[in-house]
Amino acid sequence: MNGTIVVTGAARGIGRAIAEKMASTGPLTVIGVDVAPELALSESITPVQVDLTSAEGPRVVREAVQASGAPLVGLVNNAGITRDARLVNMADDDFAAVLEVNLGAAFRLSTELAPLMSDGGSVVNIASRAYLGNFGQFNYSMSKGGVVGMTRAMALSLAPHVRVNAVAPGLISSEMSMAIPEEIREKMVESIPLDRMGTPDEIANTAWWLLTPLSSYLTGEVIVVGGGRSLV
Amino acid sequence: MSGHVHWAKEVRDDWPAVLAELTSAFHVSRRAAQDEESFVYVVRQDDLLGRRGSGNAIIACGLLSAARTAALEGARKGWTANVVAYDDASDRSGVEEWARRLLEAGDVNGELIRVGSGHIGKTLA
């Protein structure tokens, strides 16, 4: 592969693993986007610190892509947050924040960058197994279901030139999952057939496959990477 | 008929309009949950498959996922959350009848009922 790839939410967890994986696998320019001011990635990754929910966010990323001087061959919409609560107690602000970051930013950035995507390019949207339903996550699962819907619509609108797929991670060892109380997390792990949490690298491997021509006949699909949790 | 039926509003591929519709559904759903009443979202099958733009697809699939999560929460309290999807051949009264059945059933929860045959051979939502 040759060209530029954009990864959002690149400072930590799954996004960081994807950015590092892509930077290590070929003559690619990897642009790592994150709101975190402490963004510290490998030297081979070009950092862009911006709030993707801001009015100028998508434009700033587009300008970084254009400044890279290479064709845009990949986009990974990964940035995400949680603000969990039962529906009866969910605050308007917590609903809006999750929708804006997990879905609005991905939608607006995809709209901004789609015209730049080169023939044969690939978009990977990081959804979540929670799109199948998850207690206490009305806002999060709605946002990730939205990501699935966006994936299907983009797959149709960008075909045949660009492929668009989604990865739906299950319980992955990251800052986000570490925010879950340990007792609950241990119970969650007990219900995973593969008997452990996944790693960010395991999601990065799937994203890498979707970004490369190895998955050249796949578009509009959701791949659940969850250790079999969706079966039990 | 006890419960709420929320028909997804059609939008263009415009984020503020998408967020407004999802927020509207959230408010209907939260009120229903607080009142321990069931609710049904009504969407188009074409939108579950992404055939009519990103905005409508986000809303349809977002509502389906939200219903599944709400269903888990309602199961503990005795109310349900479901989705009815219709196609171009569906008539409104038939769709409303399915929504009514789901509200009254009580033992169908977190489910997607696809009215008509247009979904056969297409991806599972």
**A57 neighbors A84 (Cβ within 8 angstroms):** no
User: Residue A58's domain spans which residues?
Assistant: 3-231
Q: How far is A13 from chain B (nearest CA, A)?
A: 24
Contact A154 B68 (CB under 8 A): no
Q: Kindly report which listed range (A70-74, A223-227, B121-125) carries the lowest average pLDDT score.
A: B121-125
Residues 85 to 124 of A: which have CB under 8 A from any B CB? 86-88, 90, 92, 95-96, 99-100, 103-104, 107-108, 110-111
**A197 neighbors A171 (Cβ within 8 angstroms):** yes
Helix (H) or strand (E) holding A109: helix A105-113
Q: What is the CA radius of gyration of chain B?
A: 14
Predicted confidence at residue A27, as pLDDT, reads 81
Helix (H) or strand (E) holding B6: strand B4-7
Name beta bridge partners: A47: A32
Predicted confidence at residue A16, as pLDDT, reads 95
- The question of whether A131 is a catalytic residue gets the answer no
Q: What is the CATH number of the domain that holds A215?
A: 3.40.50.720
Whether residue A160 is preceded by a cis peptide bond, meaning omega within 30 degrees of 0, is: yes
Q: Please tell me the total count of domains within chain A.
A: 1
Name beta bridge partners: B41: B6, B83
Both tokens of A83, joined, read 């603000």
Does position B1 have pLDDT exceeding 70, yes or no? no
Contact B72 A135 (CB under 8 A): yes
Condensed to tens digits (0 to 9), the pLDDT of residues A177-220 reads 888 889 999 999 999 999 999 999 999 999 999 999 999 999 99
Contact A103 B62 (CB under 8 A): yes
Where are chain B's structural domains?
5-114
Residues 138 to 177 of A: which have CB under 8 A from any B CB? 138-139, 141-157
Question: In chain B, which residue's Cα lies nearest the Cα of A105?
Answer: B15
Angle between helices A13-23 and A200-211 (to 10 degrees): 50
Condensed to tens digits (0 to 9), the pLDDT of residues A122-152 reads 999 999 999 999 999 999 999 999 999 999 9
Q: Considering the entire predicted model, what is its pTM?
A: 0.97
Condensed to tens digits (0 to 9), the pLDDT of residues A29-81 reads 999 999 987 777 788 899 999 999 999 999 999 999 999 999 999 999 999 99
Q: How many CB pairs under 8 A join A and B?
A: 133
* Backbone φ/ψ region at B37: left (φ over 0), alpha (ψ -120 to 50), beta: beta
- B35 CB-near residues (< 8 Å, 6+ apart): none
Question: Is B5-114 in CATH node 3.30.460.80?
Answer: no
- A180 CB-near residues (< 8 Å, 6+ apart): A188
Predicted confidence at residue B125, as pLDDT, reads 77
Does position A154 have pLDDT exceeding 90, yes or no? yes
Does position A93 have pLDDT exceeding 70, yes or no? yes
**Optimal mutation site among A77, A82, A83, A87, interface B, most CBs of chain B within 10 A:** A87
The average confidence (pLDDT) of chain B is 96
ipTM above 0.90, yes or no: yes
Minimum-distance CB partner of B66 among A138, A150, A153: A138
Does position B23 have pLDDT exceeding 60, yes or no? yes
Nearest one of A12, A11, A21 to A210, comparing CA atoms: A21
Question: B123 contacts in A (CB within 8 Å)?
Answer: 152, 220-221
Q: How far is A145 from chain B (nearest CA, A)?
A: 4
